[in-house]
Amino acid sequence: MTQALILDNLAVSRGSGPVISGVSLRVEPGKLLALVGPNGAGKTSLLESVSGVVTNSAGSITLDEVPLSKLSRIKRARLGLVHVEQGRTVFPSLTVQENLELTAKSPEELENALGLFPELAKRRHSASGLLSGGEQQMVVLARAFAAKPKYLLIDEMSLGLAPVVFLRLLPIIRNIAEAGVGVLMVEQFAQLSLEIADGALVVSGGRVTYQGAAKALLDDPKLLHGAYLGVSS
């Protein structure tokens, strides 16, 4: 069986018309793909179509050769697809540990998740609503990892966070990928996300303007600029 999350010629329409057209990509276990592009490019809609928040209007989505397009969001999650959406959706009255217990199926999975976040382990019995914004984002990520995802979708993790806090989270995302999870990450800070990514996809105007190694974009600012403007191939 082919182990990969694959989008083939994906199209998504919302409201007045198409927001994504003809996007194809492949995320393999243990690899991190950075999805970058200007505001309004359709990046969030792409992630939402993969997880089942919205329905793709054309193309296909497969997870380890299982077609997803007709499956509910819950069924996709049961297959190992976990979506960390924008915003820090913690349950504020629950402790850190109780938040993680919502997805962890065993004490071992809970401890493995806390092991990625030593700061959370120290505050496991604190109410999540009393944590800082960065710590709450850690809770969200730890809860996602506790679910033992095969593939993890992360949308704008930096939203509302100070840059110094975001920088502390990036190595953790890299560690999650190195633990064998395929990661597709949307992020407004293109350069920072490219520094930890294996591959990169630039979307501009709903279409792919660059697909390849993250390092190639990182090493060539003109290429990145052109891809954002939709003038590279």
> What does the block give as tokens for 227?
């891809």
Q: Are strands 199-204 and 66-67 parallel, antiparallel or unpaired?
A: unpaired
Is the dihedral angle over the CA atoms 75, 77, 83, 88 positive or is it negative? positive
List all residues 6 or more positions away from 211 whose beta carbon is below 8 Å from its beta carbon: 25, 199, 200, 201, 202
Predicted local confidence at residue 71, as pLDDT: 96
Residues of the chain with pLDDT under 50: 232-233
Rounded distance, CA 40 to CA 184, Å?
A: 18
- pLDDT tens, 3-30? 999 999 999 998 777 888 999 999 999 9
Find residue 82's DSSP bridge partners.
Answer: 152
Q: Is 172 helix (H, G, I), strand (E, B) or coil?
A: helix
Predicted local confidence at residue 86, as pLDDT: 86
Predicted local confidence at residue 227, as pLDDT: 73
Predicted local confidence at residue 190, as pLDDT: 85
Max Cα separation, the chain?
51
Q: Which CATH superfamily is domain 5-80+150-229 in?
A: P-loop containing nucleotide triphosphate hydrolases (3.40.50.300)
Residue in 168, 204, 169 with CA at minimum distance from that of residue 23? 204
Domain boundaries, the chain: 5-80+150-229, 93-148
CB neighbours of residue 91 within 10 Å? 14
Which run of H or of E encompasses 120?
Answer: helix 118-122
Report the percentage of the chain scoring pLDDT > 70. 97
pTM, whole model, 2 decimals?
A: 0.92
